[in-house]
Structure 1
Amino acid sequence: MTTHSPSLQASPDQTAPSAPETLHVAVVGAGRVGTAVARSLLDAGYRVSLSASGDPALLALMAEIVTPGAEPKWTGDAVSDADLVILALPLHRLHTVDPALLHGRIVVDAMNYWPPVDGTIPAFAAETRGSSVVVQEMFPGAVVVKTFNHTGYHSLEPDRRPAGHPERLGLAVAGDNSEAVALVSAMVDRIGYDPVPVTSLAVTTFMQPGGPAFGSRLTAAQLEDLAGVPASAA
């Protein structure tokens, strides 16, 4: 049984699910980022579905080896009963995701815009407020939260630490909806990072390629300083 609320809308006063320990998370994208996130979530005790562009039967063998415990599914099936959706696919493939699938969902944007890989995508190339602003515009019925994108996929798992550990690092969690940010922050905390809530998608350039937080292994306090907006570790 999931805690997803089918009436969840992209509005400032919406109510997000409040039991992160019971979440079913759908990870869309089975590349290096998606599988690293999926393994971290599985290790933290979450139920995880994994989808890619192809038949889940073909994904199953890879998942058995790379993300044991994740459930390979078609994207539509994975999202339909998930409480939280994580987008971890190349941005040039984002247009293949039907906006209707994500309507009413809290969606984590773990992606970055990479012109050498994605080519020139005018909407992302012209956006000065952050690529997640464009993602939110592409999926107006969803509530977008940005995190996971500013740490390397190769660092995400080995850098995890229990709460209070002197080497515990931070992860920025940005969004326009405080309830959604709080839910995703609880998930980030559980997998082994100090979440740093940031109050707006429009100030997330510091987390992106070329920004001071991108690729850096930073504490929550250091991330708060870089955010330049009211933020605090959870």
Structure 2
Amino acid sequence: MKIGFIGSGHIGEVVAASVIQAGHSVVMSNSRGPETLTELVRKLGPHAEAATSEQAAREGDIVVVTVPLRALPQLPTSGLAGKTIIDTMNYYPQRDGRIAALDNGSATTSELTAEHFPDAHVVKAFNSIYAADIETTAKPKGDPERRTLPISGDNAEAKKAVTDLIESIGFDVYDAGPLHEGFRFQNGTPAYCAHVNRTDLIDLLNQAKE
């Protein structure tokens, strides 16, 4: 499977390395152009290539959107109809500016992402784990210390695809429900970046209030 990346920062780089190790290939992009990704692609190896954001969107079987939330309105939307998008973004007002719908809880970052990409299937994932932990805390299936990561989304098929991908890189997955339920593991909640198993993760998710 080929995974497209719109954004190639810390999360993008580590997820890309992990999915390559699991047997996939990646197409990396950023806002500055593919020529700025030469060193990253060299580091990731022969199963990585650099492209424009439009190319990454078009070529990816799954597309990971991992940019600062403030950049969301500028992202290209072409080539994503019917595709699964993984949204890794968190809201930091000091970086992103104030967003009323997020401040009053009427929307989540992933619901804003789904509005921006109305023809795609958005799944919230990888926002509640530190980038370095993706590499250092992955465990084989069946390991008693294997960590569980939460996801949310409105499309069952898309969530299944993301679950399979996350499980292939060393984590169990808990489906927290529809896209709006992503508020339960956004930054500032008990489940955010918690290194826990499924049972403990569910307890932490339930502590987040509307």
Q: Please report the TM-score for the alignment, with normalisation by the length of structure 2.
A: 0.91
Partner of 2:57: 79
Structure 2 residue identity aligned to 1:57: E
Amino acid at match of 1:92: R
Secondary structure of the 2:158 match is helix
Q: CA deviation at 1:32?
A: 0.7
Asked whether 1:146 is paired with 2:115, we answer no
Deviation at 1:218, TM superposition (A): 1.4
How far 1:129 sits from its partner (Å)?
4.5
Cα deviation code 1:110-151 (max 9, x no counterpart) = 111111111223343344452211211221111100110001
- The superposition leaves residues 7-32 of structure 1 with CA deviations (integer Å, 9 ceiling, x where unpaired) of xxxxxxxxxxxxxxxx2110111111
TM-score (ref. length: structure 1): 0.82
Change (3 A) 1:42 1:127: same
1:90 match: 68
- Give 1:62 shift: 3.1
**What is the alpha-carbon distance in structure 2 between the residues aligned to residue 183 and residue 135 of structure 1?**
18
Select 1:227's aligned residue among 194, 205, 208: 205
Percent identical across equivalent pairs? 32
1:63 Cα shift?
2.7
Could you tell me how far 1:42 is from its partner in structure 2? 0.9
Query: Take 1:29 and 1:103, find their aligned partners in 2: how far apart are those partners?
Result: 19
State the aligned residue count: 205
After superposition, give the CA deviation of every residue in 1:21-78 in whole Å (9 maximum; x if it has no partner). Answer: xx2110111111111111111111111111001221221123313x334211111112
Partner SS state of residue 202, structure 1: helix
The answer for the alignment partner of 1:54 in structure 2 is: 32
CA distance in 2, matches of 1:111, 1:120: 15
**Are residues 126 and 135 of structure 1, via their aligned partners in 2, closer, same or farther at CA, if it must alter by over 3 Å?**
farther
After TM superposition, give the deviation of residue 210 of structure 1 in Å.
0.8
Residue range with higher mean Cα deviation, 117-126 or 27-36? 117-126
In structure 2, runs of 5+ residues without a counterpart are: none
Where does structure 1 lack aligned partners over 5 or more consecutive residues? 1-22, 229-234
Residue 119 of structure 2 is aligned to residue 158 of structure 1: no
| Residue pair 1:178, 1:199 contacting (<8 A) in 2 also | no
Of the three residues 39, 42, 56, the one matched with 2:20 is: 42
C-alpha separation in 2, matches of 1:174 and 1:221: 17
